[in-house]
Amino acid sequence: MAENIILTCPHCGNKTPMKLLNKFEKVTKYPLKYGEGAHFKDIFEVFECPVCKGFQLYYTHWDTTFYVNNDDIYKHYGRVLFPITEKVFVFRLPSNVRSAYESALKVKNIDDTVCVIALRRTLEMVCKDKGAVKGQLHQKLNQLQQQGILPPLMGDISRVIKDFGNMAAHGDQVNFNKTMLDSMFRFTNKILEYVYILPKQMEDVRQELESLSEETDSQSNSKE
């Protein structure tokens, strides 16, 4: 792994090469069919931001089935364990949704108002990606709710984010403090997870169960 990987600092929001302070790797080996084996590596690294001198504990997972370079592993599969931040696995989001969401992350610790506007824009991108393009944002959210893409509760959460985004965009005198921002990120994350991440995870589980079932049937037939 590279020792000066480009990451976004969770403290100051700068995207810059980080200095590696410490590193620990846990390697696990699993046997596969036909005498083959797979190596799984859990990597924990402490990076220091050269701008604000804040540090972060970064986790990445690597195994021998990955056909990507080191930078892609950090970009798509890594996550910050400390400081604790509300963030989803952005590599599973459509590019337009990911772009809006990452914009909110970049300014979270820099400009509260711009961050709220970016979260509202993230919802706009979700609506567009799912085919709800007519009317105001609340009408688009209602359409997604009626189609079952968003459950009723998440539709209500979406409207809260939309309302705060409108206040920020229209220059209303609202104090968007850290607690409020953290709550809005949690709400946004739940929406993104429900729409994009949970279906993929359920599909992965389904495929795993089918694979196990086929393997069990194969073993049973071989014994007979």
Instruction: Answer for the pair 53, 11: CB distance below 8 angstroms, yes or no.
Output: no
Instruction: Name the stretches of the chain with pLDDT < 50.
Output: 1-2
pLDDT at 210: 81
- Provide the residue ranges of all domains of the chain, joining segments of one domain with +: 1-85, 89-202
Instruction: Answer for the pair 58, 52: CB distance below 8 angstroms, yes or no.
Output: no
Measured CA to CA, the distance from residue 100 to residue 126 in angstroms comes to 10
pTM passes above 0.85: no
Q: If 0-12 CB within 10 Å is exposed, 13-18 middle and 19+ buried, where does residue 59 land?
A: middle
Domain with residues 89-202, CATH architecture: Up-down Bundle (1.20)
pLDDT at 201: 79
pLDDT at 1: 45
Instruction: Answer for the pair 137, 116: CB distance below 8 angstroms, yes or no.
Output: no
Residue at token pair 């567009």: 128
Q: Which DSSP category does 18 fall into?
A: P
pLDDT in tens, 178-189: 777 888 888 888
Give the three-class secondary structure for 144.
helix
Instruction: Answer for the pair 135, 128: CB distance below 8 angstroms, yes or no.
Output: no
